[in-house]
Amino acid sequence: MKDKQIVVVLDFGGQYKDLIARRVRELGVYSIILSGDTTTDEILSYNPIGIITTGGPKSVYKPNSPLCEKELLESGIPVLGICYGMQMMAYILGGKVSSASVSEYGQTKAKVIHESKLFANTDSELKVLMSHTDRIITLPEGFVATVKTENCPIAAMENNDKRLYGVQFHPEVTHTIKGKKIIRNFLYNICNAKGDYNMKNYIETAVEEIRKQVGNEQVLLGLSGGVDSAVCAALISKAIPNQLVCIFVDHGFMRMNEAEEVKQAFADKSLKLIAVDASERFLKKLEGVTDPEKKRKIIGAEFVEVFNDEALKLGRIKFLAQGTIYPDVIESGNGKAATIKSHHNVGGLPEKMGFSGLVEPLRGLFKDEVRKVGRELGLPTAITERQPFPGPGLAIRIIGEITKEKLDMLREADYIYREEIGKMKKKPSQYFAVLTNTKTVGVMGDERTYGYVLALRAVVTGDFMTADYAHIPQSILAKISKRITNEVHGITRIVYDITGKPPATIEWE
């Protein structure tokens, strides 16, 4: 983000690095995530107004534990160390860190014991999320303890003169009640942030960059119907009207009415939309396939084939657009960052297609920011608020072999379920139906039936890394069950999944 203030989040293996960066952005400051072993010179090249060091699974006093360079802590730029990041700060600057006699996990009561800019306008008694087995025993020279808990005398520390601050707890999570206020204090009271980051400005910058990159050339985009590709299409079409060609491949595994919603959403946009109904082609490829990983691979490969077939009909197009977003980049390894999992849309241009340029206007955004951009661009809520949906779609929400009959059955049942849950004032984070490969006996109108078991899944989560099952009122579940068994032929029994993540994943396959 050109000409915008930046906060660097240095990652030392903490599970909440994305959440920290998102919190900073929510508070109006642009953030980027860099690997913890990034050199001080490289970090300073971004001209950051502040640095946040994350938690991590290691002990700072053990060999080969990741550490930032001491020069970074002596650069004069404000640093906030979180959990491991705080222990690392203390260790590097001469303090002592050792294993705690009593570990702390979960929400814990804490007390502010020293006046601090970091805790301005919070409460003297705090509820914070602790997750540590090590603790600081001796403070570095010039530091004071600012917060304590029953089992941790140094739950926060600071050297205000050197603008170095540390918290043993996690202010980025909702379980720390005043956590967002603490981060705000760091940004505005300590880093002197201006709050110059918002989605309207992001759109203006992205439009300018797209125009500069593309000029008068055409751009090709594979439109999946998901939030990322849809917002990508809307943004590019705003920047370069009538120069974007979108290929929408309908593999036949989308939810009820979604294919039509995609077509309608872009009917009035300045782009060319090519819609391909390839449902029969995909079904034929999946005949007899039951393994979910094989399903994924077959669908992915076939999607590329259909896209390529259509693209070749268009002749030479110079630029390929992708809806790559920031978490894709982070997980696939960015610079020195470790690769968590690879993404198909990260890593450059497909060799066989002959493209010479890649347009990725969402590459720096998190999912919630992508939704905001979509709303700013006037996309309908059916697109911008679309629930997470796997690329293979309903194909991996049908356990076992996929048939047209099963797809129609699941599509209708899932629609009823989502329709009823949609009426709730407080909705779960994600909810969907799964057609199992189990059949059970039933009775309807004195007749014996033998139909499928349908599983309902609904979860509540803040970041989709962990999730609890949603406590949907029994009256609503009863209504959903009655509607589905009455209205959808072939489903005899309804069950509700009450498993959290972990131990389960959100999806069944």
Residue 82 · residue 40 · CB < 8 Å: no
The domain made up of 6-190 is a member of CATH 3.40.50.880: yes
Mean pLDDT of the chain: 89
Supply the pLDDT for residue 344: 43
pLDDT digit string, tens, across residues 458-506: 999 876 767 899 999 999 999 999 999 999 999 999 999 999 988 898 9
- C-alpha–C-alpha distance, residues 106 and 363, integer Å: 34
Supply the pLDDT for residue 450: 87
Return the structure tokens found at 238.
């705003």
The rounded percent of the chain whose pLDDT value lies above 90 is 69
Dihedral pair phi/psi, residue 165, rounded to 5°: -135, 145
Return the structure tokens found at 335.
């610079």
Lowest-confidence region among 158-162, 198-202, 386-390: 386-390
Superfamily per CATH, domain 199-384: HUPs (3.40.50.620)
User: Pairing mode, if any, of strands 219-223 and 164-167?
Assistant: unpaired
Sorted by sequence, the CB contacts under 8 Å of residue 425 that are 6+ apart come out as none
- C-alpha–C-alpha distance, residues 61 and 91, integer Å: 8
130 vs 237: which has the higher pLDDT:
237
Task: Give me the CATH topology for the region 399-496.
Answer: GMP Synthetase; Chain A, domain 3 (3.30.300)
Residue 38 · residue 203 · CB < 8 Å: no
Handedness of CA 111, 8, 349, 309 (dihedral sign): positive
Q: Count Cα neighbours of 228 within 13 Å in the Cβ-side half-sphere.
A: 23
Residue 246 has pLDDT above 80, yes or no: yes
Q: What is the DSSP letter of 355?
A: -
Sorted by sequence, the CB contacts under 8 Å of residue 386 that are 6+ apart come out as 226, 227
Supply the pLDDT for residue 79: 97
Beta bridge partners of 134: 99
Res. 337 pLDDT band, cuts 50 70 90: very low
Return the structure tokens found at 151.
């089992």
Lowest-confidence region among 8-12, 155-159, 314-318, 411-415: 314-318
Q: What is the mean pLDDT of residues 219-234?
A: 90
pLDDT digit string, tens, across residues 32-82: 999 999 999 999 999 999 999 999 988 999 999 999 999 999 999 999 999
Taking residue 102's Cβ as centre, other Cβ atoms within 10 Å add up to 10
Supply the pLDDT for residue 487: 96
- C-alpha–C-alpha distance, residues 395 and 211, integer Å: 38
pLDDT digit string, tens, across residues 103-112: 777 888 999 9
- C-alpha–C-alpha distance, residues 434 and 399, integer Å: 8
Q: What is the DSSP letter of 171?
A: T
**H-helix segments, 131-226:** 179-184, 199-214
Residue 133 has pLDDT above 70, yes or no: yes
Where does 461-502 show beta strands of DSSP type E? 468-469, 491-496
Q: What is the mean pLDDT of residues 281-300?
A: 93
- C-alpha–C-alpha distance, residues 124 and 108, integer Å: 14
**CATH 3.30.300.10 domain position(s) in the chain:** 399-496
Return the structure tokens found at 67.
């550490």
Left if phi > 0, otherwise alpha if psi is -120 to 50, otherwise beta: which for 170? beta
Residue the block writes with tokens 């894709």:
328
The residues carrying an active-site annotation are 83, 170, 172
Supply the pLDDT for residue 38: 94
pLDDT digit string, tens, across residues 396-451: 999 999 999 999 999 999 999 999 999 999 999 999 999 999 999 887 766 778 89
Three-state secondary-structure class, residue 413: helix
Nearest residue to 197 (alpha-carbon basis) of 374, 50, 6: 6
- Buried b / exposed e along 145-161 (16+ C-beta atoms within 10 A): bbbbbeebebbbbbbbe
> ∠279-284-285 over CA atoms, to 5°?
100
DSSP per-residue string spanning 133-158: EEEEEEPPTT-EEEEEESS-S-SEEE
pLDDT digit string, tens, across residues 338-381: 333 333 443 444 555 668 889 999 998 988 899 999 999 999 98
- C-alpha–C-alpha distance, residues 71 and 442, integer Å: 71
Residue 334 has pLDDT above 50, yes or no: no
Res. 327 pLDDT band, cuts 50 70 90: confident
What is the reported pTM? 0.79
Supply the pLDDT for residue 341: 34
Return the structure tokens found at 70.
């001491």
**CATH 3.40.50.620 domain position(s) in the chain:** 199-384
DSSP per-residue string spanning 414-452: HHHHHHHHTTSSS--SEEEEEEEEEEEEEEETTEEEEEE
Residue 284 has pLDDT above 90, yes or no: yes
- C-alpha–C-alpha distance, residues 240 and 243, integer Å: 6
> ∠426-429-434 over CA atoms, to 5°?
115
pLDDT digit string, tens, across residues 204-218: 999 999 999 999 999
Supply the pLDDT for residue 463: 63
Res. 329 pLDDT band, cuts 50 70 90: confident
**CATH 3.40.50.880 domain position(s) in the chain:** 6-190
Report CA 276 to chain centroid distance, whole Å.
29
Supply the pLDDT for residue 2: 62
